[in-house]
Structure 1
Amino acid sequence: MITYENWDKSKISSFLNSKPDSLDVLKWAFQEYKDEIVYSCSFGAEGIVLIDLIYKVNKHAKIIFLDTGLHFPETYELIEKVKKRYPSLKIILTKPKVSLEEQTKWYDEELWSHNPNLCCHMRKVVPLKEALMDVKAWISGLRRDQSPTRKNTQYINKDEKFRKIKICPLIYWSWEDIMTYINLNRLPYNPLHDNGYPSIGCAPCTHPVTDSMNLRAGRWAGNAKTECGLHQG
C-alpha cells in the first residue's frame, strides 16, 4: 500500500502512464486502500459527479461532509436527496467540536467576516484532520481549471497538509463536463448552481459569480483569501 510515509512516485508511474480515466483512478484507489480511504465531499457539482462515479466502484464507500453549521439550506436539502438516491453509501456529517455559540463567545460574532482563515481552520481544517486519522488516503473533487492554485494537481498526490495520499479523479474535467454529466445522468444538484454560484461553500462567505473565467471568484469575495485551507500545504 502506498502511504504518505513510503511515498515513491515510481511505484505508480506505470499506472499513470497507462493514461487512466476518472473511473480507473477510483478503481485503483479502492483496490489500493480498501476501507482505508474516505471521500471528503462539499456536495457541489463536482461532488455529485464523484459520488455517482464512486457508487459505480464501491457502493459502500464512506463519504464525509464538513458540516460547519453555516451552509446554505439548499446544500442540506441536497444531502438528503443524495442519501435517498444512494442509500448504501455511508454519508457522515462531520461537525466541529467548537459550536457556533462557543465560537461567538470566544471571538465575537461573525468570525468569518474579520478572520476567515481562523474560522475555516476551526470549522473545516481541524474536523477533516480528525476524520482522516484512521485512513491512509482521501478523495477530493479538485479540478485544475478551478483556480491557479490547483493547476498542478495530479491524480495521486502526496498531501503535506494532512500527511495522507490525496486522490483527485476529476483534474481534467471542465465545468461544462461536470454539468453535462449531471444533466445526462439526471443527478440531483444544488439549485444555486443555476443562479450564479459555480462554487458553493458556507453561506456567509459565498456569493454569485459574474466572472466566468474565475469560477471561485464568489468565495471570500473582496478578500485576498482564495482557499479554505484544506488544499494548502
Structure 2
Amino acid sequence: MSQPSQQTASLPQLAADAQAEQILAAGIAAATGPVTLACSFSVEDVVLIDILHKVAREVRVFALDTGRLNEETYEVAEALLERYALSIDWYFPERQAVEQLEREKGLFSFRASLDNRHECCRIRKVEPLRRALSGKGGWITGLRRAQSVTRTELASIEVDQANGGLLKINPLLNWSDEQVWDYAKEHRLPVNRLHRQGYPSIGCAPCTRPVREGEHPRAGRWWWENPEHKECGLHR
C-alpha cells in the first residue's frame, strides 16, 4: 500500500481534556495527506459524521461492506445519505477470496477457531481497509477506551504502524457511553435500531448478538472468544 508516512512526524500535543473538535482539527492539520473517516454506522460514527459536517466537510467517509451486515446498518447509511448529502466510498472484499473461503470451509468457519475467524476478518475487513486507506495521510475512527480491554492504551492521535505509518485519529476516545448517547439524542441523529434492542456493539450479523444486563458492551461480539481476542484486525 502506497501512502504518506507519519512515522517520523511529531504528533500534535493535546491537552488531556481536548474536545473532539480540537482532536479532529489537530489530526487533520498534522496528516501528510487526505484524511478519511471509517464508518461502520455505529452511534459513535454517526456522532463523528455530525461533528465533521460542522467543522471539516472536506473529509470523506468510507465504509466496508463485508457481505454480512445487518439490514438495520444499511438503513442508517441511507438515513445519513439523505440528511447530510454524503458521498460514501464503499469497499467490498475480493470476490475470489470470499468464494474460495466459503467453498473450502463453509459459511461459519469463523466459529471453529480463532485462526479461522481472523482469516474471515482479514478477507472481509482488513484487505478492503488497506485499499480504503491507500494514499491517505490519516483516518478517523469512533474508538473509545470504554469499549474494550483491547483499547485502553490508545491515544487520541497516534501513528498507525499496522497501516503504513499514517495518522490514526480517535476524537471520541475518552467519551463515555452517556456522552455519546446524549449527543445523539440532543442532535436527533439517526441511530441503528439494533442499539435499542440490546446491541451496544454491532458488526457482521453472524458475529454479533445482544448483550445481557450487566454484561460488557463488547460481550456480544464474537461471544465465543476471550475478551482479549475481540478485535477483527482493523485496530491492531
TM-score normalized by the length of structure 2: 0.89
The answer to which of 142-151 and 90-99 deviates more is 90-99
C-alpha separation in 2, matches of 1:161 and 1:25: 21
Instruction: Please list every run of 5 or more consecutive structure 2 residues that lacks an aligned counterpart in the other structure.
Output: none
Percent identity, aligned pairs only?
Answer: 38
Answering whether residue 204 of structure 2 is matched by residue 207 of structure 1, we say no
Q: After TM superposition, give the deviation of residue 18 of structure 1 in Å.
A: 7.7
Instruction: Please list every run of 5 or more consecutive structure 1 residues that lacks an aligned counterpart in the other structure.
Output: none
Answering whether residue 80 of structure 2 is matched by residue 94 of structure 1, we say no
SS in 2 for 1:109: coil
Q: After TM superposition, give the deviation of residue 65 of structure 1 in Å.
A: 0.7
Letter aligned with residue 28 of structure 1 = A
SS in 2 for 1:71: coil
Contact 2:7 2:161 in 1 (8 A): no
C-alpha separation in 1, matches of 2:184 and 2:6: 33
Residue 113 of structure 1 corresponds to 111
Contact 1:61 1:90 in 2 (8 A): no
Contact 2:142 2:170 in 1 (8 A): yes
Q: After TM superposition, give the deviation of residue 170 of structure 1 in Å.
A: 0.2
Q: After TM superposition, give the deviation of residue 106 of structure 1 in Å.
A: 3.6
C-alpha separation in 1, matches of 2:33 and 2:74: 26
Letter aligned with residue 90 of structure 1 = S
Matches within 5 A, 1:3-152: 3-9=5-11, 12-13=12-13, 16-17=14-15, 19-33=17-31, 36-87=34-85, 89-98=86-95, 100-114=98-112, 115-152=116-153
C-alpha separation in 1, matches of 2:105 and 2:16: 51
The verdict on how the C-alpha distance between 1:18 and 1:152 changes in structure 2, with shifts beyond 3 A counting, is closer
C-alpha separation in 1, matches of 2:155 and 2:193: 29
Between 1 and 2, higher relative CO (CA 8 Å, sep ≥ 6) is seen in 2
C-alpha separation in 1, matches of 2:93 and 2:8: 31
C-alpha separation in 2, matches of 1:119 and 1:18: 37
Contact 2:5 2:32 in 1 (8 A): no
Deviations 1:26-82 (A, max 9, x none): 122333348611111111111111111111112232111111010000001110011
The answer to which of 173-182 and 51-60 deviates more is 51-60
The verdict on how the C-alpha distance between 1:18 and 1:199 changes in structure 2, with shifts beyond 3 A counting, is closer
C-alpha separation in 1, matches of 2:95 and 2:7: 31
Residue 188 of structure 2 corresponds to 186
SS in 1 for 2:221: coil
Answering whether residue 173 of structure 2 is matched by residue 176 of structure 1, we say no
Residue 158 of structure 2 corresponds to 157
C-alpha separation in 2, matches of 1:78 and 1:102: 31
Q: Could you list the runs of 4 or more consecutive aligned residues of structure 1 that deviate by over 6 angstroms after TM superposition? A: none
The verdict on how the C-alpha distance between 1:78 and 1:18 changes in structure 2, with shifts beyond 3 A counting, is closer
